A and B are shown apart, each in its own frame.
Chain A
């Protein structure tokens, strides 16, 4: 098609832009409607409620009181302790978990398709286990008596029995180990899908240049899966910041609040103490923190790589 320069081209370009805009909106239409009704509306509602002392029949406007109550530093304000616990937990678990999944995904690659399937199944299926079964098993593993599985295991090496969940020294460690040993199935599947998309020609070219295995990983694989890594990192951080179910079931807050997470505080305020407005304020503060961290992650890794 011969394009002439000048006004006609510009007009066409402009037309195509508007056309694209329109298409863009059409494509996101369904998603946006669902999003607005079922996600955005509750969120705005929560923000609104955070300025109230919420009661089902007759909330009282309190302005910023919920926020100041949360942030006011006092020896008995658990917010800061919970924030610290959550931060420690996230910073350790998320990157380690990602690294683990990446390593396992890379390790599964060299095998035949059938063998790959077997491994993928083995890693994915633990995620199917019912939460009830999981909690029973983990409580048994971490049982502080000499019969607890971990204690028995340590006993072989002569290590004294640990008071896993009941001691401040080991409670956070227990939760972290639990997170790392649970199913990474979704992350592994995601990574493998990304890895399979890397064209072999890159590797062949690199081999010709005499690259070693680790060099290939570092200079070809890692950059090419950056979008996936970013995705898993951001969602991992979001998930980890909100985590509390594990902590709740295993320790209910832990000795001296050593495993109290922000998610637990929010849950308690919303459902146990009926301080829903306060819970909303805490949630908003948490969201701001997560958003800031995500911006940081995007800046760090967000440069899209295309060949």
Chain B
């Protein structure tokens, strides 16, 4: 009897512990130190919206977009709350790698946060789910015009904008400028005017020695698709769909691209093994590679830091690295196509969950607009070495001293060349294209990189798969552009 009592008591204890623990967990933290909104205080700030005096909570979920983004977010939330005391902001911090998994689960469970960071490629998925919101309906008059049409197009499908862009990041290639100039290559000309594929091959041939590759691209594992997208921009394949809304990767341009990559990887100027993402920059810094990809304007900071570390000799520099300057270069063009650059947009979208009301959405958009514009976004862009994509951001931009003029100019030029996806692409089309890329194209492409198949084979497979997915009439034929 005593034993039964003992067991029962311990079971109760255990269960009791859970409920106690449950309630002792700190309630969801609000943005620092703000009291939950009292109802009636009127906002002092220009209240252009019919901001209801009812207290409302906005939930935002974001990963560390930059090292200091989440810290800044807390500050902006506090400032926002000072402007609109009835609106409190709750921040859910996620980690970079796992953000999408958690967001997807929450959205599908009907518990999506009000605002979430996504990359534009994933927009179709959330629209298909039915949780994305037409933001134009809930934003203040005219605020949408602050944002560049180009960037906004990435966050829209079929003409409806579902979110606001945070930044447009360009991906291209970078180089050891010091070395290139030593070898007599006119870096500035390349940066200002671009170059052709043939010129590119010459340059990397010059740069290749016994201990150094002319060109290195991080293409192992999932990063293989980067190569397709980036070099694709130089051969007329800036987007997955043509302006006529046909699937672009079945065009002859793709075959040219594949053949060029086949040539590059088989030439000996590039490593014949897969290069890890974490290695590409290090290889350049240690003098094992002259040009590397994918690269972004941001890397200038890494090179400067490394140079400083080498000078100070304090042991924090990359082992075996040399002092060098960084040049940001555009991708070469092929087959006479116009120069272009590959860009992606990361932005914030508004989502609905089962409790969403129209009034609530207005508040949500108010905050979203606040953090995507003005000096908030300018601070971010300074960290990322990118241009803001809204006018108010540009006005507020204060660039840190000491940026390389040429790199700045090149980056600006490249951003201007980015082509937004055509209007009229549906969510279903992007979803199908994404699946096609992940399941059919990238695996075959990885085979090509490993030297186990030919460009023609890969191209044929892509065409076959695309015809099956989209129907032959909806796929581009022949040369584009």
Chain A residues with a Cβ under 8 A of chain B: 30, 54-58, 74-76, 78, 139, 143-145, 161, 163, 165-168, 250-258, 260, 268, 270-274, 276
Contact = CB atoms under 8 A, between A and B. Distances in A.
A257 B100 contact: no
Contacts of A258: 443
B420 interface: no
A88 to B, nearest CB: 17
B479 interface: no
Contacts, number: 110
A190 B389 CA distance: 59
B405 to A, nearest CB: 35
29 contacts: A54-B108, A56-B107, A56-B109, A56-B110, A57-B131, A75-B468, A78-B439, A144-B220, A144-B273, A144-B274, A163-B450, A166-B274, A168-B447, A168-B450, A250-B221, A252-B221, A253-B438, A254-B443, A255-B446, A255-B449, A255-B450, A258-B443, A271-B100, A272-B100, A272-B438, A273-B125, A274-B125, A274-B128, A276-B108
B279 to A, nearest CB: 7
Interface string B99-135: 0110011011110100000000000011011110000
What are the 5 closest A-B residue pairs judged by CB atoms, nearest first? Answer: A144-B273, A166-B274, A252-B222, A255-B446, A271-B104
Given A165-B274, A256-B443, 7 more contacts: A55-B130, A74-B468, A75-B468, A144-B220, A145-B275, A161-B273, A274-B108
Contacts of A255: 443, 446-447, 449-450, 452
A30 B11 contact: yes
Given A168-B447, A168-B450, A257-B443, A56 B130 contact: yes
Interface in B454-469: 464-465, 468-469
Interface string B412-446: 00000000000000000001001100111011101
A253 B442 contact: yes
Nearest to B464: A75
Nearest to A166: B274
Interface of B: 11, 100-101, 104-105, 107-110, 112, 125-126, 128-131, 220-222, 271-276, 279, 352-354, 431, 434-435, 438-440, 442-444, 446-447, 449-450, 452, 464-465, 468-469
A168 B445 CA distance: 12
Main secondary structure of the interface of B (DSSP, over half): helix
Nearest to A250: B221
Contacts of A165: 220-221, 274
B446 A58 contact: no
Contacts of A145: 271, 273, 275, 279
A268 B444 contact: no
Contacts of B438: 253, 268, 272
A301 to B, nearest CB: 34
B270 to A, nearest CB: 12
Contact of B105 (A254, A256, A271): A271
Contacts of B352: 57
A57 B354 CA distance: 8
B432 to A, nearest CB: 9
A268 B125 CA distance: 12
B447 A256 contact: yes
Contacts of B100: 271-272
Contacts of A271: 100-101, 104-105
Q: Which of A76, A165, A166, A270 has the most CB of B within 10 A?
A: A166
Contacts of A139: 276
Contacts of B110: 56-57
Contacts of B130: 55-58
Contacts of B271: 145
Contacts of A251: 221
A182 B43 CA distance: 60
A274 B129 CA distance: 7
A76 B450 contact: no
Contacts of B112: 56
B446 A166 contact: yes
Contacts of B446: 166, 254-256
A204 B176 CA distance: 75
A268 B100 CA distance: 11
Contacts of A270: 104, 108
Contact of A76 (B109, B125, B440): B440
Contacts of B126: 274
Contacts of A143: 276, 279
A250 B221 CA distance: 7
Contacts of B125: 272-274
Nearest to A143: B276
A166 B450 contact: yes
Contacts of B274: 144, 163, 165-166
B220 A166 contact: yes
Nearest to A145: B273
A64 to B, nearest CB: 21
A39 to B, nearest CB: 17
Nearest to B435: A273
Nearest to B448: A255
Contacts of B465: 75-76
Nearest to A273: B435
Contacts of B101: 271
A183 B59 CA distance: 41
